[in-house]
Amino acid sequence: MTDHTYTLKQLAQGHRPIRIGFFLVPDFPLMTFAAALDSLRQGNRLAKRKAFEWLILSADGGHVKSSSGLGFDADAAISRAPRCDIVILCAGINYADAYDANVFAWLRRIHSEGCVLGAVSTAVFFLAKARLLEGRRCAVHWESLASFRSEFPNCLATDDIFAIDGRFLTSSGGTVTLDMMLYLISAVEGRELAALISDQFNHARIRRQDDVQRMSPEDRFGIRNAKLAFVVRRMEASLGDPVEISDLANSVALSLRQLERLFHTNLGKSPTHFYIELRMTRARELLVYTELAIGEIAEICGYQSASHFGRSYRTRFRENPAATRKAEKLREEPMS
């Protein structure tokens, strides 16, 4: 199973209960861990069945203390951990003290086996250090954002409250972790259960991942049609593995012709053209803000060959990808 073919929908259609491992790094923030864990407990209670199960993991299988001094005994060391559907890493301000080549190798291995990887607060540094987030959008706490971007220029670090990109879920930490977990629960078990959990926690509104810095598709593109907004969200979430336009139409109970008309009426272009523009915008962002090879960018944006990608890019921007990158480097050079 490759990263480009995986979706949370596949996890939703899989076995139950879904097993989630929490990898705790010494001095992890208790609030983020509690928000993640207790949302699952509440989900099981409200669903009246065991939809989720969980276990605590540590590097050596020993006791791990949080930054508040309250600690937990691990259920297993990473070397003996049972297979998990999802592994969520929790780390705090002293994250770098726990860097370990064995942990990075373990993360790469379970990712290659199809595991969904999540990180809250500074745990995103572990995924980046394991070279798993290159070309990926990830949420980083505002306090660590500048240092993260400096250390990992090939990762698309954002100040969104949380980010979902392929099989990676990252939260900027604190109470935002609850919103990320509610997003995950909604994707797996349905929005109704997520809303019930939110109500139980007196959490008045489930925030979107782009709640702070980015506008919704409705605001960004001036969309007022719910079906069109849903399709655009699906497009934005699947740039690396484009969905057939006919499948997008079916997902909102429209014919292909009806969807075409909806796009032309509201956005002035066909669904295919709009989808390509979204992918091209992502490609330009990767060219400007990362040092990824053009072939890698082509793959991340859903193109099977660099040549096909290059032709599409030139059609959209009237220059080739290498020219965009060169122009950006010249722009950044200090004037003499």
pLDDT by residue (tens digit) across 267-325?
999 999 999 999 999 898 888 877 788 998 898 888 989 999 999 999 999 999 999 98
Q: Assign a CATH topology to domain 217-332.
A: Arc Repressor Mutant, subunit A (1.10.10)
Residue 325: closest CA among 307, 308, 313, 312: 313
The per-residue pLDDT of the chain, averaged, comes to 87
Q: What is the pLDDT of residue 7?
A: 57
Distances (CA, A) of 303 to 5, 233, 309, 333: 13, 20, 6, 31
pLDDT greater than 70 at residue 331: no
Distances (CA, A) of 273 to 106, 134, 242, 283: 41, 27, 13, 15
pLDDT greater than 50 at residue 5: no
What are the boundaries of each domain within the chain?
8-201, 217-332
- Which residue bears the tokens 């990362």? 290
Q: What is the pLDDT of residue 269?
A: 95
Look at strands 168-171 and 162-165 and give their pairing.
Answer: antiparallel
- pLDDT (tens digit, 9 = 90+) per residue, 87-128? 999 999 889 999 999 999 999 999 999 999 999 999 999 999
Peptide bond into 17 cis (omega under 30): yes
Q: Which residue has the higher pLDDT, 162 or 218?
A: 162
Tokens of 136: 């990926």
CA distance 246 to 108: 35
What's the rounded mean pLDDT across residues 238-248? 91
Q: What is the CATH number of domain 8-201?
A: 3.40.50.880
